[in-house]
Amino acid sequence: MSRVSVLRENKIDPHYFDTYASLMTAGNGYMGVRAGFEEDYPEQTRGMFVAGVYNKAQGQVSSDLVNLPDVTRFELEIENVNFSMHRGKILDFQRVFDLETGEINRELIWEHPNGKRFGLCFKRFVSKKKLHRVYAKIEITSLSGDADVRIRTGIDGQQTNFGTQHLVERSLRVFSETWMQGDYVTTQSGHDVAVTSMISAPGSFTAKNRQLLVTVNQKLAENEPFTLEKVSVIATSLETENPAEFGLGDIREAKGYEESLAESRDVWQEFWQDYRVEVTSESAFDQLALDFSAYHLEAMTPSHDERFSVGAKGLTGEGYKGHVFWDTEIFIAPFHLYNHPEKVRKLLRYRYLHLEQARKKAEKNGYQGALFPWESAFSGEEETPEFAAINVRTGKRQKVASALAEHHIVADIAHAVVNYYEASQDELFMEHDGLQMLQDTARFWLSRAVLKDGKYVILDVIGPDEYTEHVDNNAYTNYLAHENVYQTLRFMAKYGQKHTAFYDLCEAFLRKIYLPQPDASKLIPQDDTFLGKPEIDLSEYKARQGSQAILLDYSRAEVNEMQILKQADVVMLLYLLPNLFSEDIVGRNLDYYEEHTIHDSSLSKAIHAIVANRVGQQEKAYRFFEEACRIDLEAAPGGSDEGLHAASLGAIWLSTIFGFGGVAISDGSLHLNPRLPAGWKRLAFSFVWHGERLEIVLEQDTIRVTKQTTAPIEIHVFGEKHRMTTGLEI
């Protein structure tokens, strides 16, 4: 295996402070710590999040993933001047984020305003071995004679979520000259959060204004580095009865920085062993993007606990309030499914555990079965904010309609349940939890559809394209609902539940559900009215994609009345259910709808890449793929400030494996139809299928699959069926 990539920040540019704080977030699924610089800058937002710790502030309708007290800040007073990269002179600067381990290393040479020079090195990582621990190390070297330095660090409870304070202090304590602990509780959800820190040199403490700080004074001799280490343990009442006690116990066992990093690296190595996708490409950027997405997808997935799922920004920022969307099941879960399916079982269990809330939501809206919330957090109740940001032109707030009508999430979750079963063959899960989820979601569609002129139609919905609201018969929704009910029947039959009234109702639904067909010009109508709406030239908005610039020129209501897509919709359908239409129809719809799509959502590009690749538009596919990779890695200032685009990271993996790698699952069998981009020599990845890890190596004109056992596995390569025992080479 080649070395996993590193991400570099070579320039000090405050416009990008928050971008890099997101890009270099270190995490381990339990927590995520944004890469704020150790010293404060107004341009940067610190952030530390623990999966599942949400709170609803007074007067708010939805919860925030709580930004926890900070442990990353180190204030350096060198020769009576506070160190800042905006003060004195920076003679050398580099920050490197090692994706192999999640360690950040910033090195600089700073010239003090008094002319003396200092070498500074700041390192930090979140342990993958000990999930509660964050380690930091700073090293200061005076390069121009003796010097005085004062270092202040500690636990800072002044953190907020965009200004909202979610925690109150319970106690602040100091246990020796090096140990300290802050114990906090969330104001509404009542989670107890204890933060315990220990530093490697004695200091003096102060506790004031929700900050518990320790100050270390040090005399530096020329060229003799002074090192200070800090380890912090975060624990919450979600996993332990007494987080404060847990913190003290855990920190007592903590080893030094380097030894702990080595331990953590070993666990990351195991991850890379299984999950690494290696590409030999003309552009080194492709490998970086794959490593970047793999690192972050792992770092944001709470595999340790089935009560939590992955937020739209993972654990990398406050954006989307840490809420869970369809992003998880459709865009993120596959990355784990074909590597470690048990992680997806947990993600699905998160939904299963909240069936009751989903049933209540259905009932409240006059439906049966389970209507999963569009946005979900800890409680499993609907968390979508009532209003979006104020439209600065009209001064009015726009209602967010997704909670009321973006019902495709129900079928998306059902789709993920079936995918999980196909890949894992986990009967135990399927026969109970899986089937229950399928039946509840199918029941929802049966009650959601209405009979009109002998057909079941699904009225007043929002499809994946959120620029088109309150429409009838969104093709994506109808087809996915059909699939949902069809799969429910399949599994009811499999598990001996055929002779029930519900089974008959499902059959009747399948017979009568209206499935929009391609029209005379081969277009699948996105919904009943879409194709009759006026079109406008979107090039100006496409050039600024991701920024929702169109909403500055047009109101949402106006956008709704034109053929404008925010993101893949019919194309999303073509991606998820690849066997519905001929290649010719797929190509025609891809071209048409792409022209009308701004790609203002990060969920769009990579999906287009997959579908383009399937219809042989390889150049376009590669362009879409590269653009998808740039969403975070080359974000414009502001684009990724509030966190990374988790679904887009998942889609980078999807477009590599399901796009260029040509993997497809169809009717429960595994297919391989690779089409590598012209600039790729080799693509290698592993793929777990029916409990067996396949190693797949693709070159422009060879396919090699190896496996570990001789148990036969069926695989279709370019449509031809192979029964593979040890592997195959074509």
Torsion angle defined by CA atoms of residues 449, 420, 53 and 253, in that order, rounded to the nearest 10 degrees: 170
Sheet holding 167-174, edge to edge: 6-9, 89-98, 103-111, 117-126, 133-142, 226-236, 192-199, 179-186, 167-174
Kindly identify the residues of this chain, within the stretch 216-275, that bind ligand BGC according to CB under 6 A.
none
What would the 3-class secondary structure string for 618-669 be?
HHHHHHHHHHHHHHHHCCCCCCCCCCCCHHHHHHHHHHHHHHHCCEEEECCE
- Tell me how crowded residue 544 is: count the other CB atoms within 10 A of its CB: 14
DSSP 83: -
Tell me how far, at minimum, the Cβ of 560 lies from ligand BGC, in Å.
14
The residue count for binding ligand BGC (CB under 6 A) is 12
- When the beta carbons of 440 and 600 are compared against ligand BGC, the nearer one is 600
Looking at beta carbons only, is 74 or 325 nearer to ligand BGC? 325
HSE-up of 144 (CA within 13 Å, CB side)?
Answer: 12
8 A C-beta contact, residue 436 and residue 408: no
d(CA 445, CA 598): 30
Minimal distance in Å, beta carbon 464 to ligand BGC? 6
d(CA 580, CA 582): 7
Q: Is 603 in the site for ligand BGC (CB under 6 A)?
A: yes
CA-to-CA distance for 678 and 273, rounded, in angstroms? Answer: 27
Check residue 322 and give left, alpha or beta (phi > 0: left; psi -120 to 50: alpha): left
Exactly one of 327, 329, 412, 433 binds ligand BGC (CB under 6 A); which one?
327
Identity of the residue, 67 or 567, whose beta carbon is nearer to ligand BGC in the bound complex: 567
Our CB check for ligand BGC shows the closer of 650 and 674 to be: 650
Binding region = 326-327, 566-567
Task: Please tell me whether residue 417 binds ligand BGC under the rule CB under 6 A.
Answer: no
Q: Does 138 bind ligand BGC (CB under 6 A)?
A: no
Residue ranges for the binding site for substrate?
326-327, 566-567
Distance in angstroms (rounded) separating the CA atoms of residues 125 and 102? 6
User: In this complex, which beta carbon is closest to ligand BGC, that of residue 568 or of residue 586?
Assistant: 568
For the chain, the residue count is 730
Stretch that binds ligand BGC, among 291-299, 321-329, 455-463, 535-543 (CB under 6 A): 321-329
96-104, 255-263, 318-326, 486-494 -> range binding ligand BGC (CB under 6 A): 318-326
From the list 185-193, 323-331, 449-457, 478-486, the region that binds ligand BGC by CB under 6 A is 323-331
468 binds ligand BGC (CB under 6 A): no
Instruction: State which residue, 354 or 566, has the beta carbon closest to ligand BGC.
Output: 566
- At residue 531's C-alpha, the angle toward residues 530 and 535, to 5°, is 95
Q: How far is the CB of 195 from ligand BGC (least distance, A)?
A: 29
Nearer to ligand BGC, 133 or 566 (CB): 566
Beta strands in 52-161 (DSSP E): 54-55, 64-65, 74-78, 81-82, 89-98, 103-111, 117-126, 133-142, 147-156
User: Given the complex with ligand BGC, which of 213 and 647 has the nearer CB atom?
Assistant: 647
Query: Which one of the spans 8-16, 264-272, 319-327, 606-614 is the region binding ligand BGC (CB under 6 A)?
Result: 319-327
Question: Going by C-beta distance under 8 Å and a sequence separation of 6 or more, which residues neighbour residue 8?
Answer: 94, 95, 96, 97
Among 312, 485, 651, 713, binds ligand BGC (CB under 6 A): 312
Q: Is 326 in the site for ligand BGC (CB under 6 A)?
A: yes
Residue 403 is a binding residue for ligand BGC (CB under 6 A)? no
The closest of 535, 516, 658 to 593, measured between CA atoms, is 535
User: Can residue 466 be called a binding residue for ligand BGC (CB under 6 A)?
Assistant: yes
Residue whose entry in the numeric block shows the structure tokens 């709406």: 533
Residues 435-464, mask of contacts with ligand BGC (x by CB under 6 A): -----------------------------x
642, HSE (Cβ side, Cα atoms, 13 Å):
14
User: In whole angstroms, how close is the CB of 42 to ligand BGC at the nearest point?
Assistant: 28
Question: x/- string (CB under 6 A) for ligand BGC, residues 635-674?
Answer: ------------x---------------------------
**Cα separation, 233 vs 243, whole angstroms:** 10
- If the CB atoms of residues 388 and 510 are measured against ligand BGC, the closer one turns out to be 388
Q: What is the DSSP string of 31-64?
A: EEE----SS--TT----EEETT-EE--TT-SS-E
466 is annotated as an active-site residue: yes
Burial of 450 (C-beta count, 10 Å sphere; 0-12/13-18/19+): exposed
Q: Binding ligand BGC by CB under 6 A: which of 186, 197, 545, 567?
A: 567
At its nearest, how many Å lie between ligand BGC and the CB of residue 547?
12
Of 325-333, 386-394, 621-629, 631-639, the segment contacting ligand BGC by CB under 6 A is 325-333
Tell me the helices (H) and strands (E) count for the chain, helix number first: 21, 32
Least distance to ligand BGC from the beta carbon of 319, Å? 9
Catalytic residue among 103, 466, 469, 626: 466
Q: Is 19 an interacting residue with respect to ligand BGC (CB under 6 A)?
A: no
Give min distance, CB of 607 to ligand BGC, in A: 11
For residue 576, give the nearest of 418, 433, 344 by alpha carbon: 418
Q: Which is nearer to ligand BGC, 216 or 347 (CB)?
A: 347
Encoded tokens for 619: 């150049």
Q: Please report how close the Cβ of residue 549 comes to ligand BGC at its closest, in angstroms.
A: 14
Shortest distance, CB of residue 332 to ligand BGC, whole angstroms? 10
Nearer to ligand BGC by C-beta: 468 or 589?
A: 468
Three-class SS state of 116: coil
295 binds ligand BGC (CB under 6 A): no
Among 122, 184, 268, 325, binds ligand BGC (CB under 6 A): 325
Residues sharing a CB contact under 8 Å with residue 597, sequence separation 6 or more, in sequence order: 465, 565, 566, 567, 568, 571, 604, 608
Count how many Cα atoms sit within 13 Å of the Cα of residue 44 in the half-sphere of its side chain.
Answer: 24
- Decide if residue 551 touches ligand BGC (CB under 6 A): no
* Neighbouring residues of 211: CB distance < 8 A, sequence distance ≥ 6: 154, 155, 156, 157, 158
CB of 388 to ligand BGC, least distance (A): 10
CA dihedral 143, 144, 149, 153 (to 10 degrees): -30
Q: Is 382 in the site for ligand BGC (CB under 6 A)?
A: no
Q: How far is the CB of 62 from ligand BGC (least distance, A)?
A: 14
Quickly tell me which residue has 């879960």 as its tokens.
Answer: 333
Q: Which of 689, 650, 594 is nearest to 326 (CA)?
A: 650
Q: Residue 430, interface with ligand BGC (CB under 6 A)?
A: no
Q: How far is the CB of 603 from ligand BGC (least distance, A)?
A: 5
The answer to whether the CB of 151 falls within 8 A of the CB of 218 is yes
Round to whole Å and give the CA distance between 336 and 298: 8
Would you give the binding string for ligand BGC spanning residues 176-215, x where CB under 6 A is met?
----------------------------------------
Distance of alpha carbon 54 from alpha carbon 518, whole angstroms: 45
Residue 340 vs 599, nearer CB to ligand BGC = 599
55 forms part of the interface with ligand BGC (CB under 6 A): no
Instruction: Among 236, 601, 617, 686, indicate the residue that binds ligand BGC (CB under 6 A).
Output: 601
Q: Which residues are catalytic?
A: 466
The residues binding ligand BGC (CB under 6 A) are: 312, 320, 325-327, 464, 466, 566-567, 601, 603, 647
